[in-house]
Structure 1
């Protein structure tokens, strides 16, 4: 039986000192047919271990509906690691951050039953225990002492930056050990005294997360842990991107020099990220530290392997450094060929709002619902209220999470945008249906705004500075006084299907969209054979794209991301179906691919930050 334990200063593999040289690959961000390629390239870099998070909300997006399918087969991923002769570190959280929607916590956790998260609270702990036991059923038989690859399991994630509840951590440890996890347990925190003190327990290995000044960070870590191996569990060798800010890069030579200093101090390391991958679907997270900042679809992270798994300059710089501390394989990754360049029209177009309305039945409520109340935990929803006004007025919301297009009939009145801190719009007089198309642009993944509901947050008020307000559709009272205001309480809603491509099926009946109305477009892209593609979104406005029925994620002309990555396993020889939902369509839009990704286009209309 192989053993993996903690020594006085080192990890011990079968009793011998062992340095962990690890790289982060999130199986849920990489197409499963490409797992083996990314893992193999990790070994060629000189690494001996692969680390991954487990994203709870990917496996259980709806309470009680669990899946290990469609790229979520954790056991298969860990076995692929073992097949490459490498070890594995698993970080099941329950909270992962990771710039992932809600930090991996399912949105349903925060409903009416919830009393608190990331602390010792009975409702939360019951859900967490059920989740962890499912995950540990996979991990336990794949531990190193049972012939598998898993050498470490992490408890929570950067908990010292969020809370200080040692009983919560003790209960997580109890669930973990009772589920048969026998390998060493770790925690991770940024190397700051208060975070390290709050984020761990005696008996757990403290590790750090940082991306520079390694000797100083390791010294702080050692103060809090006089014995045991030193490890940077997240060596930040790059960074993620937000819509409307420049693409983040770190200079390869500087990052390699700091990695050299870290390894030279005798520490173990996990490169975060080795290959970042993609926020397929609508899985990107967001940050809000006073300004809401949704994260891009690409999670390239300026990592040693780019979003498509191709070695970068950083890969070769890191390989040279790692070669000073371990023997490198003779094999090197092959250079990547340019991706196919092709194009096609988008001949089919229908009005999105008409199509959604035709696809379902409006639900009626006597209050303003959140999208969570609708059961729509990601994506888009339509809100509608009947308006009768004698004069123009202002519509205002308490909050908009996160962006809403406001229509009076066919006419776009304006856009309410959380990042722009825009929560009101002028609406005209008359009798009409006021319709709002609301987009959840990604749930906050870090800090106190975890778990907040999405959609329109009331009250929804209509304020007039002149004539009175009519009664119909404006709530229980119609106080028509000059300068008066009323709350809209009578609402209808419809959720937008997760895959609206079906709305384009069937006959060609249905109008093209009037100007300023969102559209659904479809085209066929012919490709000679399976190959990675970089779908060019130039000429598109803002929205979501699907390729052969798979949601590639969001696009936005704002930048910095211009291309959407299409993994080769999704691509068919011959015709491939492309569906585009564009909230701000431009005439003449086409499907096109580029030979290489563009993640650093100039920023168009950056968000307001004051």
Structure 2
């Protein structure tokens, strides 16, 4: 018999009323060999469904080049959920927010100077259609009416916070239907009238759902007045919150308070717990808020979720299980053996080399009269170094950067002149050029993470876009070094190291016992860490995150190579591997 899932006055699974009790987990933020552990814990808490976003920028990092393997094997994730008797909600919107780099949109979209994302701008919709054609070949056969576990899909994500282009939403839905979507579809937005109105289609076409963390009774009552005889669902019940670099603490939420809100939701309808398991923004994949000021998110996406970043049960887990047991029978589920947390201790530095001395091994210079943005140079993430000759010795009274994102370090003749971040960029500098015939300027710019939310999505091009102004005239003739750092083995540690400059530091960790661990970066300034050539994310002394999570699956018995790229010239001669996470509740 073919299974069915329908939206009428309630959700109906095979013609019977069905209460969705889901938990959010992003397969791309968790190592593949940990998926089963997290999903079993989800089921053991009483959930019947898992929800996930789909990050376009990971599946099509380069235009026309698709990746659906390893941690990006969404088919395997969905099939694993089904094998554990869990249903699946998939949110394949081109834009996902999710505190993820550019909200999941590929950076290469911005190479088009006229790009208008999340609209019916023809080049954008052409890219979406080409991506969806590939993606839905995977998703369509996994829907419930084809004996798969997918019961719902989402058209767009919190579109009511961005725009009100109904043609865009309708076009997305048509593309999804054309490529085989047969299950019911939803939109999700803030619970307020303006957001719900702008971000949704007619309720008979796509069910509006709500995202909120508190005030469940009031929001649900307002929804029921607006949408009569439609099922109530909180698509994102925010049980914690995300952290940004420079926050004064790691955001947490009282477990009993969150559990009481969960009860209020389940009394009236269905829920997706956001997040059940947050995971990690590995690599350069953290997003940012870019409203009044730039607020990039930290590497950890712990979110104060039901499971910790490394998958441990929390007080919320037990409180939520109690509440869920009031609405459904929870069968006993045996958990998998738990991964050990190991303090491997202190490891001394083996080699180090300054960035400027190994620059040519990492990148070949692109010469151009004026500086080009990261996107114009076909670079998505990381750093870009702009180099030029300022000419003869003289006093420069006023020098400043014009239109640059996000953080710029300026060096003249290997001397650090200034670091400017976000709104500081463009501040005037004075500098003495002391070399008689040639004075080299290096500007190292870091993409701190493109905004994942807000009205500035089309303004997320990175690098030095406007140029350098020296005493009221533009300076030309530049070399560009792309530093996406996608192959850290190119660093040549046989070259010279100089103090107080951006540099690479190499460590080796010998292990026999395998387990999760956390690298304590106290004593370093700012940068990224690589384990066995895998970028595990950023660190920054401003906190609140002080340690980086290293899953066991990134380690191996025997020798493990750790390379730290430190941009501030602050370092220690050792790093420390701890068995405890590093999210400070108070700084």
TM over 0.5: yes
Pick the aligned partner of 1:555 from 521, 524, 539.
539
- Residue 57 of structure 2 corresponds to 57
By relative contact order (CA 8 Å, sep 6+), the higher-ranking structure is 2
Instruction: Rate the CA distance shift 1:423–1:88 in 2: closer, same or farther, 3 A.
Output: farther
- Residue 510 of structure 1 corresponds to 495
- Residue 347 of structure 1 corresponds to 350
For residues 239 and 352 of structure 2, the distance between their equivalents in structure 1, rounded to whole angstroms, comes to 43
Pairwise CA distance, 1:592:
1.5
Output aligned runs, 1:96-107, within 5 Å.
96-107=96-107
- Residue 260 of structure 1 corresponds to 263
For residues 509 and 36 of structure 1, the distance between their equivalents in structure 2, rounded to whole angstroms, comes to 43
CA contact (8 A) 1:396 1:461 kept: yes
For residues 291 and 4 of structure 2, the distance between their equivalents in structure 1, rounded to whole angstroms, comes to 44
Q: Tell whether 2:464 aligns with 1:456.
A: yes
Pairwise CA distance, 1:2:
1.0
Pairwise CA distance, 1:359:
3.9
- Residue 417 of structure 2 corresponds to 413
Structure 2 unmatched runs, 5+: none
Pairwise CA distance, 1:21:
0.4
Output aligned runs, 1:3-152, within 5 Å.
3-8=4-9, 10-112=10-112, 114-152=114-152
Pairwise CA distance, 1:210:
0.3
- Residue 215 of structure 1 corresponds to 217
- Residue 277 of structure 1 corresponds to 279
For residues 461 and 444 of structure 2, the distance between their equivalents in structure 1, rounded to whole angstroms, comes to 16
- 3-state SS, counterpart of residue 346 of structure 1: strand
How many residue pairs are counted as aligned between the two chains?
577
- 3-state SS, counterpart of residue 371 of structure 1: coil
Two-structure CA RMSD over aligned residues (Å): 1.7
Pick the aligned partner of 1:393 from 373, 384, 397.
397
Structure 1 unmatched runs, 5+: 464-484, 604-610
CA contact (8 A) 1:161 1:189 kept: yes
Instruction: Rate the CA distance shift 1:45–1:582 in 2: closer, same or farther, 3 A.
Output: same
Instruction: Rate the CA distance shift 1:84–1:108 in 2: closer, same or farther, 3 A.
Output: same
CA contact (8 A) 2:384 2:481 kept: yes
- Residue 2 of structure 1 corresponds to 3
Pick the aligned partner of 1:566 from 550, 571, 575.
550
For residues 281 and 165 of structure 1, the distance between their equivalents in structure 2, rounded to whole angstroms, comes to 33
Instruction: Rate the CA distance shift 1:227–1:425 in 2: closer, same or farther, 3 A.
Output: farther
For residues 240 and 143 of structure 2, the distance between their equivalents in structure 1, rounded to whole angstroms, comes to 30
- Residue 250 of structure 1 corresponds to 253
Output aligned runs, 1:447-526, within 5 Å.
447-451=454-458, 452-463=460-471, 485-499=472-486, 501-504=488-491, 509-513=494-498, 515-526=499-510
For residues 359 and 155 of structure 1, the distance between their equivalents in structure 2, rounded to whole angstroms, comes to 41
Pairwise CA distance, 1:342:
2.0
For residues 159 and 116 of structure 1, the distance between their equivalents in structure 2, rounded to whole angstroms, comes to 14
CA contact (8 A) 2:396 2:470 kept: no
Instruction: Rate the CA distance shift 1:71–1:337 in 2: closer, same or farther, 3 A.
Output: closer
For residues 421 and 247 of structure 1, the distance between their equivalents in structure 2, rounded to whole angstroms, comes to 28
Structure 1 residues 501-522: Cα deviation after superposition (integer angstroms, max 9, x where no partner): 32335xx531112x22011011
Normalised TM-score (structure 1): 0.92
